[in-house]
Amino acid sequence: MNFTPPQNGPIRETPPYSELAKVYDRMMAHVNYRQWADYVIAILKKEYLWPGRELLDIGCGTGRFLEEAERRGQLGDGCDPSPHMLKVARERLGRSQFYQSALPELPGVPAGAYQVFTCLYDTMNYLLDTASVARALIRIFENLRTPGLFIFDLVSEVNCRHYFHNYRDSDVLSETCAYYRESRYDVAEKMQFNWIRVYSEEGIFQEEHRQRIYDFDEIEAIILEHTHFEIRNIYGEFSFRRATPRSGRAHFVLKKS
């Protein structure tokens, strides 16, 4: 498909996940949301919280995980700080309820309404300091129904070094829209930087995204020190084996009882 990006005019800086919402699903086409839904439901079965328990997906984005979960019989609601991402999610999932809300405080999310919280695909990595992580975990504990389960993942330095250091990606979506993405991992700061440029008829827009990369044992220590959660397990990748420092991703399963 032919696409000629605008050659003139300023590059406009926009908040994360605003202009990106137009191209997000295409850019994330490599993400296996089916596998994620299967895995989360397997965890819920293992913890005797499936089927039918009330679920809220924190950082739900355009609702792809919730869509796959619904196809498997698990209905859920979502929250996200971006109204642009939520607009896509509402169009995708008419039966679900969505809140414009974000960690660490989750404003507007009703306390005690959900027995399961999920927070997937690096969402917790967008909390850029340990104080924010601790506050988010405390707030989630307060908001969860009892008994309740919180499932979240963290991406690791191993993953960032292997897949997203000096990474570039681009695609043409239509005759009027394209994107370019560039990523870099800063070893000293333990920070993943992602720049996305969206080309459209309205102009050129650029977003910067930052993710703090934590060691798994660092987050485990925060949970033990600052919350009353029981750590049911910390799984490596999409397995039921304990995560190690070499795991590319860990899923934390925390219980409020």
- Domain at 31-155+215-256: CATH code: 3.40.50.150
- CATH 1.10.3720.10 is right for the domain spanning 11-22+159-211: no
Domain range summary for the chain, segments of one domain joined by +: 11-22+159-211, 31-155+215-256
- Return the percentage of the chain with pLDDT > 90, whole number: 90
The reported pTM is: 0.95
Neighbours of 8 (CB within 10 A): 6
CA dihedral 165→62→15→124, nearest 10 degrees, is: -60
pLDDT at 7: 55
pLDDT tens for each residue of 6-34: 555 689 999 999 999 999 999 999 999 99
CA pair distance 72, 75, nearest whole angstrom: 9
Q: What does the DSSP assignment read for 86-118?
A: HHHHHHH-TTS-EEE--TTT-TTPPTTSEEEEE
Asked if pLDDT for residue 133 goes beyond 70, the answer is: yes
Q: What H or E segment, with its residue span, contains residue 251?
A: strand 249-256
Q: Where are the alpha helices (DSSP H) in 97-199?
A: 130-143, 157-163
Distance of CA 114 to the CA centre of its chain: 18
pLDDT tens for each residue of 135-185: 999 999 999 999 999 999 999 999 999 888 899 999 999 988 999 999 999
**Neighbouring residues of 227: CB distance < 8 A, sequence distance ≥ 6:** 134, 137, 138, 141, 254
